[in-house]
Chains A and B, each alone.
Chain A
Amino acid sequence: MPEPHQLAPSADRPLTGTFRVKRGLAEMLEGGVIMDVVDAEQAKVAENAGAVAVMALERVPADIRRDGGVARMSDPALIEGIKAAVTIPVMAKARIGHFAEAQVLEALGVDFVDESEVLTPADEAHHIDKWAFTVPFVCGATNLGEALRRISEGAALIRSKGEAGTGNIVEAVRHLRSITGDIRRLTVADPAELYDWAKRLSAPVGVVQEIAGTGKLPVPLFCAGGIATPADASLVMQLGASSVFVGSGIFKSADPPRTARAIVEATTHSTDPDLVAKVSRGVGGAMPGLEVGTLDTRLAERGW
């Protein structure tokens, strides 16, 4: 991967914000669950249940969907409260293209910025130049081309978009299958075909060639958007995600601490159906779901 903002090595000064350091944190989150929280109290519930990180936001996606209006970065006071409440990494969302919100989040010391379609986009043509930051970024993608464009802009982690706030896993499954399916197809493509692949994916040919050789994205691939049950987590882990983001699925369920803990166990032991059955038993009501066909706003269509 190109690292245009990499500093020259110097003996007396350790290097911060290199791509290896950014991607490194994403790799440390593998096999884990990142939970959306709106305040310090929820952040503690998430940490006690075994979350590997929390995502600070003003409203969970289900409420953004219900209430409408412009959804923006959280109030800094709220993010600081969450940072003070837990010892695990704290992520926060910035609007697509809103690099000033991302600068504020970096100044606040958040550990990861999610340039997220769940918030109202700020720029209809340009995503944030993520190379310009020390803090790592995660971005959503619905297909391989979108994932590679985000990586070429400096994203250190890719997640499926799914359809946030619905409790419906169908869109996340579509996105994961599209990304992993195209990666598999690239690995068997003739080298001469990779130029056409790059054109069709609207992505740089260098990274397309790299993936054709390695059979994987150059950064981790996580799943987000619609995970509501332990079995949902098991499903997407087995489909090739290496961690899961759970948004509304925890704090819109009947018993958040128990649902959170059960999803953590099901993510770790995703290939052990006996264990997934055990943690799912009597866990209580999952969040009420929404049929994707009935939605007025498709969040996954935001971003390009």
Chain B
Amino acid sequence: MPGDGAKVGVLALQGPARLHASILADLGASPVAVRTPADLAAVDALVIPGGESTTMSLLLDSSGVGDAVRERLAGGLPVLGTCAGMILCASEVLDGRPDQRGLGAIDLSVRRNAFGRQRESFETDLDVEGLHGGPFPAVFIRAPVAERAGDGVEVLAQLDEGAVVCAAGPVMVCAFHPELGGDLRLHSLFLERM
């Protein structure tokens, strides 16, 4: 299986960490909840789940995990960021809070709540480059999009509003929630790219 032997951290400061952990375990990886720099030091890769990016940003600072992730990113840490995780990974947040400090893991300009409020949240079948076996069931909850992708960033899926799956080296981000659709392929692709 793609995850064999890998210790994959799931950032557990806020958001549905347990859903990602259960998918990673199904793919043969060993998921580890990450709340401290010591937790992070013990993992080979990191999943940053959805949730509220403003909340997670504050908790990344206060826990010291944010700086520890920045250090590991310089050394090529594989990261999968979903929804709020995509916002945190981006080099630029177009309408973020002034004190919000991103991780700069991938050269993207991301807009928060790009589709509107919860009323406008939706699910759809999405074609993702590199995923075989048909479209992916994508659940978008108050989701962001990338309005600009830098040089060297691959855009793997796109909607009218902007890019919704992007990758650069070992870093991969998506605007929707691959943990909610009951489909393991996106996590599997991330593990294969590690």
Contact = CB atoms under 8 A, between A and B. Distances in A.
A111 B51 CA distance: 14
A264 B59 contact: yes
A188 B180 CA distance: 28
B139 A264 contact: no
Interface stretch (A12-20, A191-199, A221-229): A12-20
A25 B95 contact: no
A136 B12 CA distance: 24
Interface string A44-61: 000100111100000000
Contacts of B181: 20
B35 interface: yes
B59 A16 contact: no
B141 interface: yes
B12 A89 contact: no
Contacts of A298: none
Interface stretch (A26-34, A62-70, A143-151): A26-34
Contact of A27 (B19, B35, B54, B58): B19
Interface centre among A29, A50, A134 (most CB of B within 10 A): A50
Interface of B: 12-19, 35, 50-52, 54-55, 58-59, 62-63, 83-84, 95, 97, 112-113, 117-125, 139-142, 177, 180-181
9 contacts: A15-B123, A25-B141, A27-B16, A28-B84, A30-B14, A51-B55, A87-B112, A269-B35, A272-B35
Interface of A: 9, 11, 14-18, 20-21, 24-25, 27-32, 47, 50-53, 87-89, 106, 109, 111-112, 134-136, 264-265, 268-269, 272
